[in-house]
């Protein structure tokens, strides 16, 4: 019989994580040739920026795309970061689920230990070519050049060649991947990704070489982003089973030391109180806590009043930089930015910032929808907008209240660009490809609050514009009839001085319709709106 | 310095796949307590149905949900399948990425080797309780009961207890998981999932025990679904790098034997032709093929005319069963079903079937949108409709052409239920939680073709109804004036027999407006529409 327990057992076996993702590559952002190119550049640049920032080095990144055949491209990304030790190179570039960022709570672009190795695997699968990596840790290090092929059956790197580096640059890492891919300009392109990355990372210098010729995105600010700290998990985000495992594996001696040592915001006093409420002795050996005791301990910990986690672990882009980015890329009439205070979801600190630009050159066609630009930990998110929390937040806001038209549940139909950024020690992505943020209530709420504040600021201008338009229309109406009125008056009262009457009537019409214009004396000049923070109005 | 290469290397380490998914549990369908319950039931039932079918046993499945505390539920699923050997139990239920379904191309519900272990892991994380499993392979097997806890740090099962089974049933597997969860009725509920599973699996008997009391979904057909075969990959779906690896690892001696043995649809003649075109000797040792030769071989293979893969590996639900399911659950006026012939995406055979129900009790409110019910390999897909290929296909169809109203890019606003099923040896899911099908052009096209055929059939009825309404309106108009017309005629020609004139006029009005009604003589009876295949029209 084909299907009895014995025969079924014979076909059971382990699946390596690289086999799994090779077959499910669309989960990682390699669904098609165009996206594969974008995902590869993105993963490499993310790693480069993370490494530079961690080492406190102002990033200088070279990205180049070279066509080497029909639907075949070579992607090369080089940074001036701290470099990677020779013995680490194979794992970092040739093994999925390997890295330094997964086991900590710290704001960084990478967090999974999958990205760049997956890109290398995709290259290998589609072209048979291994990844080429060069790294030097400084002028005294001769450096090393390796070619690496991931063994997908075992999720292990195979070193194909290993030699001293022969490069002139003194410090950094270069990765080169040949792959089946296509390059196209426009929406969802590598071009768009690099441009948005420059906006969200004004401290980085990016030299980009697409086929159409090199472009440099110069450093816009000299200051590095505020240094972000690693934090410990918050007790209100831990689950019972996880805490039980932590108890079994802890190096702390006592329960009290465990609570203070493995979580943030637990003082001696809080630990004692929690233990007392849970009827567990605070000085008991942590590893001997029984399931029932652990359950009471967990429940007491959840009930305890504990300060929110520290939020200085986050480094937002900032209103200034957001506005500068929008001003550079988009010709609008109104720009504003709101940075929300940090807050917490599932025990993880996060912070939302939103900027918007309105009017001007943004939308020429009536009915065009607003455009949403999304970032998470300074990385632009280009795909899957529909399932992203940020998109949902924008469609949830009632833009009608701010003078814009909107079909319920859609983006507003207005000349509007919205830019949203989530900074967090752990961004809950919808897929391993990190294309959209999962829809957590706390996150959506913060984005909506920021949007509402931007909306209120915009509404003042939109209302003023509407009023001004109305007054202008009224004056135009007066103007159209003033001549005839004057003529009529003159024919009734022949003594009247027609031209004096005309100019008097015009003056009256002007005073009556002028008030709305007062704010617009400096036609064509940039007005920094002092009464509205972080807002720029350009009137032409 | 905090961030040099040495210090960074110290924090690099491997991430176990279970750690990864524990932290990213939303990828597996465990984003919230309600969904966790659904996902657990779904994974267990999927495995049960797969096991029964593979063993040729008509499935009988018991699903029960028991509340054991605030937000705590015990899920138990038992089948009458072939059972699982004692030595396999720990891996099957306590290790992610382990199973028999990943490394083959065969239509089955499970395909990843993640689901049920992930459910157990979720239970362990949230409650600290291990999974309980009982299995017997037949009356002679005493069976075995185990409690298992996954070690997330190492992705390995830990056997907490292991004893002979003490159950009265003689064959099958029972899994019991305690977890943090909430139960709710209505949309996206376990209730809905079980109901839809019964529709798509009429050969299964399901005993369901939600808190509101037991329900049995009886077996509706005795025939088991057609036995599906495992197939080999099609040469047009293989990529260069993958083929290079296959060449290195093959057990075939020659290149020709390799091509014939590892792929489907490659005959001796095709293999020779491919080798000749690639300038590679067909009798050369397969494992000695160099990269350049492999590249030519791959390219010749892609250019060769090769038959599509066999499609008898698919077992659609069938028009009869789909209609029966809709008839049972939905009171409509019109039902139709279309089963498309099997076809291929990326070398993977797949088949689309679509059914729809229209009118009747479906939608009472004007403007209500159509409802879409999605299945993949007989499993209902409840979440993430917006990102699903099936949803996209329904919104892409221009329903206006079939007499329904629709806003561009939305589901039609009509009293309509659409049911879509994709059967494939490899369903490209959008996430490990298997909630939506990725948007491949070939798949979307097939769904749209099936919908268009359904639409054309529906359009006849919709048009007929509109015509009938128009005629009825005309007759009503005649009726309203016939009396006055008769009176007027009588007053002009006093000899006229008023009542005879009246009945004659009525007869004329009737013949003029009757034709549209002809098909509707048997009011209230079910008419099987002979001219439209697989269609049922109910007129009341």
pLDDT band (50, 70, 90) for residue A518: very low
Give me the sign of the Cα torsion angle A390, A392, A396, A402.
positive
Q: Are strands A131-136 and A172-180 parallel, antiparallel or unpaired?
A: antiparallel
DSSP code of B368?
Answer: P
Residue A512 has pLDDT above 90, yes or no: no
* DSSP output for A266-289: --HHHHHHHHHHHT--TTSBGGG-
Residues A363-378, mean pLDDT to the nearest whole number: 86
Residues B385-407, mean pLDDT to the nearest whole number: 93
Averaged pLDDT score across all residues of chain A? 90
Residues B78-88, mean pLDDT to the nearest whole number: 95
Contact B82 A8 (CB under 8 A): yes
pLDDT digits (tens, 9 = 90+) for B183-239: 999 999 999 999 999 999 999 999 999 999 999 999 988 889 988 888 999 998 888
Residues A255-284, mean pLDDT to the nearest whole number: 95
Residue B135 buriedness (CB in 10 A; 0-12 / 13-18 / 19+): buried
Residue B474 has pLDDT above 90, yes or no: no
* DSSP output for B464-533: HHHHHHHHHHHHHHHHHHHHHHHHHHHHHSTTS-HHHHHHHHHHHHHHHHHGGGGGG-STTSEEE-SSST
- Give residue A514's pLDDT: 59
- Give residue B124's pLDDT: 95
Residues A451-472, mean pLDDT to the nearest whole number: 88
Which chain B positions have a beta carbon within 8 Å of A95's beta carbon?
14
Task: For chain B, positions 324-363, list CB contacts with chain A under 8 A.
Answer: none
Residue A248 Cα, gap to closest chain B Cα (Å): 12
Residue of B8, B17, B438 with shortest CB distance to A82: B8
Residue whose pair of structure tokens reads 């952002």 in the numeric block: A29
- Give residue B111's pLDDT: 86
Residue whose pair of structure tokens reads 């049911």 in the numeric block: B419
Residue B360 Cα, gap to closest chain A Cα (Å): 28
A309 phi and psi, to 5 degrees? -65, 155
More confident: A513 or A406: A406
Contact A384 B386 (CB under 8 A): no
- Three-state SS at A181: coil
Contact A9 B87 (CB under 8 A): yes
- In chain B, % of residues over pLDDT 70: 94
Residue B115's H or E segment, with its range, is helix B115-127
Contact B386 A386 (CB under 8 A): yes
CA–CA gap between residue A358 and residue A331 (Å, rounded): 9
- Give residue B523's pLDDT: 37
A82 reaches B (C-beta below 8 A): yes
Inter-axis angle of helices B268-278 and B255-262, nearest 10? 130
Residue A539 has pLDDT above 80, yes or no: no
B6 reaches A (C-beta below 8 A): yes
Say how many CA atoms lie within 13 Å of A298 toward its Cβ. Answer: 22
Residue A471 Cα, gap to closest chain B Cα (Å): 37
Residue A381 has pLDDT above 60, yes or no: yes
Which one, of B161, B160, B166, B159, lies nearest residue B142 by Cα?
A: B166
Q: Are strands B60-69 and B205-209 parallel, antiparallel or unpaired?
A: parallel
Residue B39 Cα, gap to closest chain A Cα (Å): 17
Averaged pLDDT score across all residues of chain B? 90
Say how many CA atoms lie within 13 Å of A490 toward its Cβ. Answer: 13
More confident: B344 or B123: B123
Residue B540 has pLDDT above 60, yes or no: no
CA distance between the termini of chain B: 83
A5 reaches B (C-beta below 8 A): yes
pLDDT digits (tens, 9 = 90+) for A192-230: 999 999 999 999 999 999 999 999 999 988 889 988 888
pLDDT digits (tens, 9 = 90+) for A141-179: 999 999 999 999 999 999 999 999 999 999 999 999 999
Contact A126 B3 (CB under 8 A): no
Contact B82 A124 (CB under 8 A): no
| ipTM for this prediction | 0.84
Residue B526 has pLDDT above 50, yes or no: no
Give the range among A414-418, B191-195, B365-369 with minimum mean pLDDT.
Answer: B365-369
Contacts of B433 (CB under 8 A, 6+ apart): B26, B27, B28, B29, B30, B39, B383
Residues A42-50, mean pLDDT to the nearest whole number: 96
pLDDT digits (tens, 9 = 90+) for B408-419: 888 999 999 999
Task: For chain A, positions 248-267, list CB contacts with chain B under 8 A.
Answer: 249
Residues B267-289, mean pLDDT to the nearest whole number: 95
Which one, of B59, B205, B30, lies nearest residue B119 by Cα?
A: B30
pLDDT digits (tens, 9 = 90+) for B156-196: 999 999 999 999 999 999 999 999 999 999 999 999 999 99
- Give residue B1's pLDDT: 44
Residue A540 has pLDDT above 60, yes or no: no
B441 reaches A (C-beta below 8 A): no
Residue A107 has pLDDT above 60, yes or no: yes
CA–CA gap between residue A45 and residue A49 (Å, rounded): 6
A194 reaches B (C-beta below 8 A): no
Residues A310-319, mean pLDDT to the nearest whole number: 90
Residue B305 has pLDDT above 90, yes or no: yes
Residues B130-134, mean pLDDT to the nearest whole number: 97
Cβ atoms < 10 Å from Cβ of B334 = 25
Residue B307 buriedness (CB in 10 A; 0-12 / 13-18 / 19+): exposed
pLDDT band (50, 70, 90) for residue B2: low
To probe the interface with A, which of B2, B11, B15, B227 has the most A CB atoms within 10 Å?
A: B15
B/e letters for B429-440, b = 16+ CB within 10 Å, e = fewer, are: bbbbbbbbbbbb
CA–CA gap between residue B203 and residue B224 (Å, rounded): 6
B89 reaches A (C-beta below 8 A): no
Task: For chain B, positions 90-129, list CB contacts with chain A under 8 A.
Answer: 91-92, 95, 97-100, 102-104, 112-113, 123-129
Residue B60's H or E segment, with its range, is strand B60-69
B186 reaches A (C-beta below 8 A): no
Contact by Cβ (8 Å): B117, B150? yes
Distances (CA, A) of A254 to A289, A481, A513, B438: 10, 91, 78, 50
- Give residue A530's pLDDT: 58
In the 3-class helix/strand/coil scheme, how is B156-200 assigned residue by residue? EEEEEEEEECCCCCCCEEEEEEEEECCCCCCCCCHHHHHHHHHHH
pLDDT band (50, 70, 90) for residue B366: low
Q: Bridge-partner residues for A37, per DSSP?
A: none
């Amino acid at each position: 019989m084909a299907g009895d327990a014995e025969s079924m057992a014979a076909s059971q076996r382990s699946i390596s994580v690289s086999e799994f993702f090779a077959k499910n590559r669309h989960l990682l952002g390699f669904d098609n040739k165009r996206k594969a190119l974008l995902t590869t550049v993105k993963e490499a640049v993310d790693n480069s920026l993370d490494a530079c920032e961690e080492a406190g080095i102002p990033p200088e990144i070279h990205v180049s795309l070279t066509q080497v055949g029909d639907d075949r491209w070579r992607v090369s990304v080089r940074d001036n970061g701290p470099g990677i030790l020779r013995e680490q190179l194979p794992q970092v570039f040739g093994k999925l689920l390997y890295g330094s960022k997964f086991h900590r709570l710290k704001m960084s672009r990478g967090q999974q230990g999958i990205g760049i190795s997956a890109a290398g695997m995709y290259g290998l699968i589609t072209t048979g070519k291994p990844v080429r990596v060069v790294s030097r840790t400084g002028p005294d290090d001769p450096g090393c050049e390796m070619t690496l092929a991931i063994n997908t059956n075992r999720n292990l790197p195979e070193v194909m060649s290993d030699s001293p580096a022969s490069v002139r640059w003194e410090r950094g890492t270069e990765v080169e991947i040949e792959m089946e891919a296509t390059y196209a300009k426009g929406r969802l392109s590598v071009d768009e990704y690099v441009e948005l990355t420059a906006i969200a990372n004004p401290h980085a210098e990016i030299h980009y070489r697409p086929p159409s010729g090199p472009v440099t995105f110069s450093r816009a600010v000299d200051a590095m982003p505020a240094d972000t700290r690693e934090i410990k998990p918050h007790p209100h985000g831990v689950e019972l089973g996880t805490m039980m495992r932590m108890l079994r594996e802890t190096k702390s001696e006592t329960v009290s030391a465990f609570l203070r040592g493995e979580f943030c915001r637990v003082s001696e006093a809080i630990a004692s109180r929690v233990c007392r409420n849970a009827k567990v002795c605070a000085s008991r050996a942590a590893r001997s806590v029984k399931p029932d005791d652990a359950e009471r301990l967990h429940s007491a910990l959840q009930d305890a009043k504990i300060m929110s986690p520290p939020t200085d672990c986050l480094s937002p882009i900032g209103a200034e930089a957001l506005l500068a980015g929008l001003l550079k890329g988009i010709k609008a009439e109104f720009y504003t930015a709101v940075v929300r205070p940090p807050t917490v979801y599932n025990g993880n600190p996060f912070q939302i910032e939103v900027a918007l630009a309105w009017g001007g050159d943004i939308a020429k066609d009536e009915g065009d929808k607003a455009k949403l630009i999304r970032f998470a930990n300074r990385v632009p998110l280009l795909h899957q907008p529909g399932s992203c929390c940020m998109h949902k937040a924008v469609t949830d806001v009632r833009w009608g209240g701010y003078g814009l038209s909107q079909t319920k549940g859609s983006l507003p139909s207005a000349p509007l660009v919205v830019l949203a950024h989530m900074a967090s020690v752990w961004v809950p992505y919808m897929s391993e490809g990190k294309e959209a943020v999962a829809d957590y209530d706390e996150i959506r709420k913060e984005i909506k609050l920021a949007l509402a504040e931007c909306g209120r600021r915009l509404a003042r201008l939109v209302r003023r514009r509407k009023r001004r338009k109305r007054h202008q229309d009224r004056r135009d109406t007066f103007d159209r009839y003033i001549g005839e009125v004057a003529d009529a008056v003159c024919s009734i009262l022949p003594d009247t001085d027609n031209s004096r009457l005309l100019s008097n009537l015009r003056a009256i019409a002007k005073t009556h319709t002028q008030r709305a214009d007062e704010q617009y004396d400096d036609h064509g000049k940039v007005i920094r709106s002092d009464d509205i923070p972080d807002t720029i109005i350009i009137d032409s």
